[in-house]
Structure 1
Amino acid sequence: MVKDISADGLRGLAAANVLLCHLFLAFLPGGFAYIYPDTTTPGAMQGVVDHVIAFPPLSVLWNGQFAVCIFFVLSGYVLTKSFLDTGDLGIFRLRASRRYLRLGVPIFGAVMFAWLVMRMGWSHAAEAGRLSGSTWIADFWKEPHDLAEALRDGTYRTILGGWSHFNPTLWTMKIELLGSMFVFAYRSLNLSGRRGGLGFLLAVAGLAWFFPHDWPYYAAFLAGSHVGEARLTTSRPLLAAAMVVAVVCGGFDVSPWYDWTRILPLADNERKAFFNVLGGVLLLYVVRCGVLDRVLQSRPAQFMGRISYAFYLVHLPILLSFSAWFFVIMSERFALDPVAAAMLTVPATFAMVIAAAVVFDRSFDRWGILLAQRVFPAPRTRVKTVSVVLGSAGVRRRVRYLRRRPAERQARRSGG
């Protein structure tokens, strides 16, 4: 299997998108009056910066929900790529058995990290929210820092229940786990042609029935798996059109720009998720066709791709502590305008989160991979003895060699 390094780069940029979204929500909330209307009101937009942040074509760069949908689409694509290359269902069995530990160990570390920050009293979220006017950041960490609660959140409640009192951005982890299992089961049917199209529609209908609010997220995994087998194109007009539609869908908000989307009989949150997923599918297809390779295969993008999971897991506790403290210091002690304070807080936060993510990637993330491999090892190698003729004398020797099963070979190459 050839690794898709452009997909890794896309994952890295999506992780940066999430952090940028949360920074703007915390310190420049007026710009999110249409992207996340629950956190502010249209009347809160003041000044040029807020209007630039809210501008739909640009907002795709910091629309965190679009980035999350890209994660889900990428998971469906990456988790099924080996199967599409080899046709070996053993890959699904191995990855499904390891999935809980692979995701869960880093989740436990992230929750305990958040608990430690709360326990040490390092949160400055309320102060920062008062200065920036963000109700979003001010609502965090109002519950007591109970260790037993943190242990429950870290071991099972976050990944199975989809919520954490200590690191609420981990609501995506339940969807990541269930979506992985759904796509494994779905692709195991191995339907093709007309049956494949009908199977996809029936699967999405089933998801909509059982998950009436979150079905677009789960459907993203199924759609992402099909991107891996889609016929690629070199047509520039077609790729340009797909890119434009991806940007339009990725920048979805509730502003008048998107009133035309109300033809779909969906609630606002479902419509946003639907269009964000559609944008993520189109963006991944464009990337697979070679567009943006120069950017996505660059060293910074590849570095971000390698630490993207750790980056996502640790960013919120750092934002609520270090970033909020930095913003308060810039605003009060140095008497800077809130916009100027926010603009200084952004690069400082990125530097801090990257440093923490590198440490986290080399500890909890790696431990999750190793533990999953230890508990659920790949099928053992089979030893086969054959007789071969060596040399002109025709001397027969019995030679033993190892033949690994395809599932084991793929698991070793992909690390999971």
Structure 2
Amino acid sequence: MATASRMPLIDALKAVASQLVLLHHMALYGPLAVAVAATFPEIAEWLTEYGRMAVQVFLVVGGFLAARSLSPAAGALRANPLPLIGRRYLRLVLPFMVAISLAVAVSALANQWLDDPAVPEQATPGQWLAHALLVHGVLGSESLSAGVWYVAIDFQLFALLALLLWLGRNRAGALLAVLGLAIISLFWFNRDSSLDNWAIYFFGSYGLGAAAWWASTRPRAAGWLLLAAAIGGAALLVDFRPRIAIALAVALLLGGARLGGQLERWPASRVPAFLGRISYAVFLVHFPVLLLINALFAAHPAEDPAAVAWWAMFAWVSCLWAGLAFHRWVELPLGGWRFVLPASLRVRRGRGNSPALPD
């Protein structure tokens, strides 16, 4: 039976998306990626081109869970949003900086054997600070690990949603602010790739997730989901983007599954639940693991298809084991840290607003 805190369908979506991102990076970095591309060109090409689009799943799920937590009944957020934003920052950045430190240490080690553009340069104090403040993308700082742009975007999106809900002051104002910005993003901001270091570029997908939650809580929910589908479809007619098509499909799946009761019941398998729980840890720690394995592969190269497949499987399993260890020994212990505002800045929490942090 599903617990109130876990939703098996969301765990399954996170599991699939995290594995696709992992495989995308396996196909992208290092000599092992070159060997895989030479041995399995069609698979490698597909992962390189489309694996990155799995990030849309996390964007939509993030918006869905944030709406559920911050404004379950589509009302304004009456609590001071700063403690919630601070908690989100700590939950993201504490394990993130541990993973960055690990990536820097492994990069220095791998650099002794591996001459490859995938190995980051030695980190400077400015890079450390930019990553710790989650402004590395905005400042154009070189990333110290793969995919770290997403952590900053996740924080920006959550903070932006919380602020919009708080500034809305009432249900109509909050919904207009959030959904209005989501529509503008779908039709305008998301079509300008120069904005991809800012939340407004991704807010269309995030907003679709929030809209899916709110639509599923209202009378005549199916009609509201159809309206969301029509808006997303119109954005695709203006400019077809596969990433937005994926985001729309995931949002409609979540909204429909909540209406039908499948969200809390399906799938019943423990495998996607397990992979979903460790998805953030796998995302954070997989790059240094891949660097080490690529260094080993460079020292013992292989061209035989069976050997290349074995190396790829070894890399994949190693990343999962490392993610499990990181989840248990780093992410969970650090998840108990809290951000506390001075008493003078606190505002009494409004009725009906949950302080729970989205998963």
User: Greater RCO between the two (CA within 8 Å, min separation 6)?
Assistant: 2
Contact 1:125 1:321 in 2 (8 A): no
How much does 1:64 deviate?
Answer: 2.8
Contact 2:94 2:334 in 1 (8 A): yes
Contact 1:15 1:67 in 2 (8 A): yes
How much does 1:407 deviate?
Answer: 5.0
Instruction: Give, in whole Å, the separation in 1 of the partners of 2:236 and 2:182.
Output: 24
Residue aligning to 1:386: none
Contact 1:105 1:367 in 2 (8 A): no
Residue aligning to 1:304: 275
Residues 77-226 of structure 1 aligned to structure 2 (within 5 Å): 77-85=64-72, 87=75, 89-90=77-78, 93=81, 94-121=83-110, 125-126=114-115, 138-141=116-119, 143=121, 145-146=122-123, 148-149=125-126, 151-156=128-133, 157-158=135-136, 161=139, 163-188=141-166, 189=168, 190-191=171-172, 200-202=182-184, 204=186, 207=189, 212-214=194-196, 215-226=200-211
TM-score (norm 1): 0.64
How much does 1:71 deviate?
Answer: 0.9
SS in 2 for 1:75: helix
Instruction: Give, in whole Å, the separation in 1 of the partners of 2:28 and 2:255.
Output: 30
**Runs of 5+ consecutive residues of structure 1 not aligned to the other structure:** 32-44, 127-137, 250-260, 383-403
Q: Deviations over 1:84-117 (max 9, x none)?
A: 4355725672422322222111221111111111
**Runs of 5+ consecutive residues of structure 2 not aligned to the other structure:** none
Which of 355, 359, 375 does residue 340 from structure 2 map onto? 375
Bigger radius of gyration: 1
Instruction: Give, in whole Å, the separation in 2 of the partners of 1:2 and 1:176.
Output: 20
Contact 1:164 1:170 in 2 (8 A): no
Match status 1:7 vs 2:19 = no
Instruction: Give, in whole Å, the separation in 2 of the partners of 1:110 and 1:71.
Output: 19
Cα distance 1:208–1:28, how it changes in 2: closer, same or farther (>3 A)? closer
Cα distance 1:203–1:186, how it changes in 2: closer, same or farther (>3 A)? farther
Contact 1:159 1:177 in 2 (8 A): no
Residue aligning to 1:318: 289
Q: Deviations over 1:28-72 (max 9, x none)?
A: 5599xxxxxxxxxxxxx767x3235546xxx69x93322111111
Percent identical residues: 23
Cα distance 1:139–1:325, how it changes in 2: closer, same or farther (>3 A)? closer
The one-letter code of the counterpart of 1:73 is V
Instruction: Give, in whole Å, the separation in 2 of the partners of 1:162 and 1:276.
Output: 28
Residues 224-235 of structure 1 aligned to structure 2 (within 5 Å): 224-231=209-216
TM-score (norm 2): 0.72
Cα distance 1:293–1:124, how it changes in 2: closer, same or farther (>3 A)? farther
Residue aligning to 2:244: 274
Residue aligning to 1:401: none
Contact 2:123 2:144 in 1 (8 A): no
How much does 1:357 deviate?
Answer: 1.9
Residue aligning to 1:75: 62
SS in 1 for 2:172: coil
* Greater Cα offset, 73-82 or 343-352: 343-352
How much does 1:328 deviate?
Answer: 3.4
Contact 2:57 2:250 in 1 (8 A): yes
How much does 1:315 deviate?
Answer: 0.7
Greater fraction of residues in strand = 1
